Amino acid sequence: MTRLIVAAGGGGDAVAAAMLDAGLYGDEDRAVILTYAWDRLLIDPVPGPRRADNFTGLLPMTPAVRQVPAQARPVAPAGSTLPRLAAELPHTFALLDPHHGVEGVTRQLEELISHLSPTSVDLLDVGGDILARGDEPTLKSPLADALALAACCQVNAPIRLLIAGPGLDGELPPDDFRDLLDTLVHTFTAADVDRLGTVLDWHPSEATGMLAAAARGARGTCEIRDAGLPVHLTDESPTVHEVDLDDAVTRNQLARAIMTTETLDQVEAHSREICGYSEIDYERNKAAWLNDQPSADLNPDTVLAQLSAFEAEATSRGVTHTTFRRLTEALNYSGTQRENLRQLLISNRPEQYEAPLWRITTQPE
């Protein structure tokens, strides 16, 4: 009784896949999660997704698919959250490698389905940007989702597309695609989040972090990313809906354009043409900028004064929560200092830690 979940965007989608699997099936045999090794630059300073030869210790599953076990390690300077996820969660994590384009991803899917004979195959996206047309001004990261969508629609197997946490990625307003949301599959609860243990204390995903916080009851406006995008936490935020796969492909121009691509470079070229950019270009530019940024001293008095100033401004914008990624960048610290900053803030103001988010409050004069 094997289930297969494809994490459309990698990273946080893989964590959400584990949370969904546990929420739907409890302690039954856990699913195989096929996911990119594509983490934010604060985890992996190398732009773009990793491939099999960027790791040591991978295990063969099929000719084109490798398992990422707990003992696997990324080859420096690359980084990856997958080995730690494999160590802390009971699921099997398989590496989705997009470097051979959609044709390569389709081959990996076909081999894995043939090898596992899964009872179900789900394609999971947190937020809903997999439903983007490609020309939306708020869209930031269409490439990974389009690759996964294009491959899934070419596989000769029934695949269910699931959208968790509509709008939580900050890329598409839920009103833009709410008419596509079909059957309510699940509503996450605090118990579902608790099954992840401490994963969300260290994992950098903002969208899945907000999904977990909403499942625990957080409501309000959460500010995310370096740009401070506002995301609304509502009663809809912890839900998971099915969406017709054909409707998604019809809507997603990039997915349709890359169906026959054989390299990641070709996928990027289509993204630049249709969306006006490739997010890997953005990562390349930001990585070069980050390399030039010095690390500031995390002096507690200085940090808490900076925090108070930030919170006063955030409150004036109607913000009730934020992520530690947003705090790290807003307070002008480097990504490598995120965890130390998180621990400093929680130790000084534990009442504001609404796990895994930071609840905004203004301090008395």
Residue 279 has pLDDT above 70, yes or no: yes
State which residues form the domain around 178.
3-257
Last residue of a domain, one of 257, 288, 321: 257
- Statement to judge: residues 224 and 315 lie in one domain: no
Q: Is residue 295 one of the residues assigned to a domain?
A: no
Q: Is residue 213 one of the residues assigned to a domain?
A: yes
Distance of CA 14 to the CA centre of its chain: 7
Nearest to 134 by CA among 175, 171, 164, 99: 171
Report which DSSP code applies to 128.
Answer: S
- Statement to judge: residues 240 and 321 lie in one domain: no
Q: Is residue 266 one of the residues assigned to a domain?
A: no
Report which DSSP code applies to 295.
Answer: P
Q: Residue 65's pLDDT is what?
A: 98
Q: Residue 161's pLDDT is what?
A: 98
Q: What is the mean pLDDT of residues 107-122?
A: 97
Structurally, the chain folds into a number of domains equal to: 2
Alpha helices in 142-181 (DSSP H): 143-152
The overall average pLDDT reported for the chain is 94
Q: Residue 364's pLDDT is what?
A: 46
What's the pTM value of the predicted model, to 2 decimals? Answer: 0.96
Q: What is the mean pLDDT of residues 77-102?
A: 97
Q: Assign 364 to helix, strand or coil.
A: coil
Q: Is residue 279 one of the residues assigned to a domain?
A: no
- Statement to judge: residues 312 and 180 lie in one domain: no
- Statement to judge: residues 82 and 207 lie in one domain: yes
- Statement to judge: residues 355 and 214 lie in one domain: no
- Statement to judge: residues 233 and 353 lie in one domain: no
pLDDT tens profile 4-20? 999 999 889 999 999 99
Q: Residue 227's pLDDT is what?
A: 86
Sign (positive/negative) of CA torsion 81, 85, 88, 92?
Answer: negative
pLDDT tens profile 281-340? 999 998 887 766 677 889 999 999 999 999 999 999 999 999 999 999 899 888 888 999
Q: Is residue 246 one of the residues assigned to a domain?
A: yes
- Statement to judge: residues 160 and 309 lie in one domain: no
Question: CA-CA distance, 164 to 168, in Å (whole number)?
Answer: 8
Q: Residue 363's pLDDT is what?
A: 54
